[in-house]
Structure 1
């Protein structure tokens, strides 16, 4: 593709998340960069960051083989380097011969348009607008000022889901034809088979002796794990529930909630699962749930489906692209509906080969090389000044309007 007419060879990226964040937006950025390197090795990847890579992410950056750019002399103090990233980076990119720049998380440098460099910006979510109660006033004001400008001045905008695209069009002055949907890529570890011995090792460490239910995600109010605990309380003879994720402030409250409902022995809170253990924990689950009240996409849904595990998710939380038609959707405040879905997932027909194959097939739509090819097509169109590619061959099947 790099040799095609109008294809930009030198690609620049805002890499602060890729080189410093270990979850969430960092994973999103790293999977994009890995996918691009796999899909078209002839393209040059140039990563711009205000400070060197975090020590534990430096090996990834070295394997990627990209060129890493730090602020020029005179722009390396904390205040100066932040200003360089947001307002002066375009000059550096122009000197470096960058032909197209992708702001991977919400922003492009403000001087980029006047430097003559075409740009793309990714919008992972707009929760600060759709769920303003989760953010302080100062953060909401800062995000709105910075992110709106970037979306309205970039040559193209990448929304990671159709719901995020709708939010963006509702809140920003962006022409619909400039906004494409390219979902995030699933970690290849979830698409690969997990050895039974690895699953057994995780089960043994966590003392999981029978079927278990699983909720993966940061332990925080927005992820709504409390609904899973309440659902388990309606199912007296139900299996163990595992809540796995970084403690975002809710671990103690969730443990107390389980104790208050006489469920402490049936609810396991796991905050230390390793990158090797987590795919095995997912693969061994009888059912997974993702009950968030608001997301940009909902990657844990895809990770579970990739293992053939049935999933229950909340309706109206922007999770439908992740789950498509192979997930059961329930209201975000209905524990009985969650328990009913779980019970269905433990029935024999839920593990039938056809059902498992449908889940896995859906998850494989989020392969990072496939999505990277879609991004490259967008880059090429933007660089040439052409309309964005249509039709969108990555449209995800949606559940019926009247629910599951």
Structure 2
């Protein structure tokens, strides 16, 4: 299923990263990760953490990798992740409450950690006063840009931790150019301190399922022959109501399949469904095993993601790798994730969205073009490339130690 990018710049960048990566084998480092979400979260940030750690450990096995987490959740995804022999699970030795913010530093010192990567907006307070180099990933600053989506206490807490992390980390990884600009705008951070390293998605989305396996998945979830797919938490920011409104003007032989955890916003969506008499055309699925998710993507006719704001938009990447045409919203970073051949609409214009949906669904030629060019574009987020970029980011900080 994979397609080579014909962009010369991407090829040159990939070649240079491969050369740099080959030189890394001469070094061996002890690298620690904030593993709270990798060991406890089964969606979004948990998937990001497990993917990043797993890829870097597999691609650069000469290093030692330590996963610091206050607890571990029992789940198939997490159990499989922690079975990797390259990873060392580290539970608290010194202290319990606020261990990830303070006590963890003593544990890392005992383990001889040389670099610590906070995978979600925070690093231990006072790490800048140790010999441990630090990197922090900032996914988004939505809590500042759209404060109405968050409780006051949560906004304050996120603000304190993110601002401190950006100030004290030796390097900041932003997952999109849009997030980088937000960090500069809200925190006044030096742009040279921020490196944009895009995310990839799980490799399971990059391989086509066999017809028999797809048939079993379709039967298991009672999926219709033709459906539009939406994946993500059912919350106000994700803007599912717009898609429901647009569906009214889409041919009735297409249904909408929604995969995501409901929040109180679901009632708003449900009310819209009832008013438009669309109950028979929308299927809600939740708690879908991760192993089945790529198959559900691959059988979709179209993926629609009308979110008001995202730090990046992994579901868009998953759809492109699954060779499904994508329609997303303007206003954040989704154009970065979807590329020039996906379609984008204003997140408050249901009519524009329905027109775009019908334009794609009515044209097999357009679908074919969007699939092919989307798959070509998404190679810039391929796992080896982004993993090499990450390790080179680490190496910039670890060179003085070596």
| TM-score, length of structure 1 as denominator length | 0.88
* Higher mean C-alpha displacement, 50-59 vs 333-342: 50-59
Q: Answer yes or no: is 1:21 the counterpart of 2:41.
A: yes
DSSP-derived class of the 1:63 partner:
coil
Q: Answer yes or no: is 1:381 the counterpart of 2:392.
A: no
Q: Extract unaligned runs of 5+ from structure 2.
A: 1-20
- The Cα shift of 1:68 comes to 1.6
Q: Answer yes or no: is 1:337 the counterpart of 2:357.
A: no
What is the alpha-carbon distance in structure 1 between the residues aligned to residue 366 and residue 373 of structure 2? 11
Q: Identify the residue that residue 333 of structure 2 maps to in structure 1.
A: 318
What is the alpha-carbon distance in structure 1 between the residues aligned to residue 325 and residue 244 of structure 2? 18
Match of 2:239 among 220, 224, 234: 224
* Higher mean C-alpha displacement, 157-166 vs 37-46: 37-46
Give the length in aligned residue pairs: 379
Q: Does the 8 A contact of 2:319 with 2:325 survive in 1?
A: yes
Q: Identify the residue that residue 281 of structure 2 maps to in structure 1.
A: 266
Q: Does the 8 A contact of 1:308 with 1:360 survive in 2?
A: yes
Cα gap change, 1:6 to 1:181, in 2 (>3 Å): farther
Q: Identify the residue that residue 97 of structure 1 maps to in structure 2.
A: 112
Q: Identify the residue that residue 351 of structure 1 maps to in structure 2.
A: 367
Q: Answer yes or no: is 1:183 the counterpart of 2:198.
A: yes
Q: Identify the residue that residue 108 of structure 1 maps to in structure 2.
A: 123
Q: Identify the residue that residue 69 of structure 1 maps to in structure 2.
A: 90
Q: Identify the residue that residue 149 of structure 2 maps to in structure 1.
A: 134
- The Cα shift of 1:3 comes to 6.3
**What per-residue deviation string (whole Å, max 9, x for no partner) do you get for residues 152-209 of structure 1?**
1111000011111110010113211110011122111111112222222233344444
- The Cα shift of 1:46 comes to 0.9
What is the alpha-carbon distance in structure 1 between the residues aligned to residue 255 and residue 235 of structure 2? 20
Within 5 Å, which residues of 2 pair with 1:28-107?
Answer: 28-56=48-76, 57-63=78-84, 65-73=86-94, 75-76=95-96, 79=97, 82=98, 84-107=99-122
Match of 1:289 among 296, 304, 307: 304
Cα gap change, 1:55 to 1:344, in 2 (>3 Å): closer
Q: Does the 8 A contact of 1:305 with 1:360 survive in 2?
A: yes
- The Cα shift of 1:278 comes to 1.7
Q: Does the 8 A contact of 2:231 with 2:259 survive in 1?
A: yes
Q: Extract unaligned runs of 5+ from structure 1.
A: 387-404
Cα gap change, 1:370 to 1:3, in 2 (>3 Å): closer
What is the alpha-carbon distance in structure 2 between the residues aligned to residue 209 and residue 50 of structure 1? 43
Q: Identify the residue that residue 300 of structure 1 maps to in structure 2.
A: 315
- The Cα shift of 1:274 comes to 2.2
What is the alpha-carbon distance in structure 1 between the residues aligned to residue 75 and residue 242 of structure 2? 37
What is the alpha-carbon distance in structure 1 between the residues aligned to residue 129 and residue 196 of structure 2? 26
* Higher mean C-alpha displacement, 249-258 vs 35-44: 249-258
Q: Does the 8 A contact of 2:54 with 2:81 survive in 1?
A: no
- The Cα shift of 1:85 comes to 1.2
- The Cα shift of 1:266 comes to 1.1
**What per-residue deviation string (whole Å, max 9, x for no partner) do you get for residues 342-397 of structure 1?**
11222111233x542211122232222321111000100122369xxxxxxxxxxx
Q: Does the 8 A contact of 2:64 with 2:86 survive in 1?
A: no
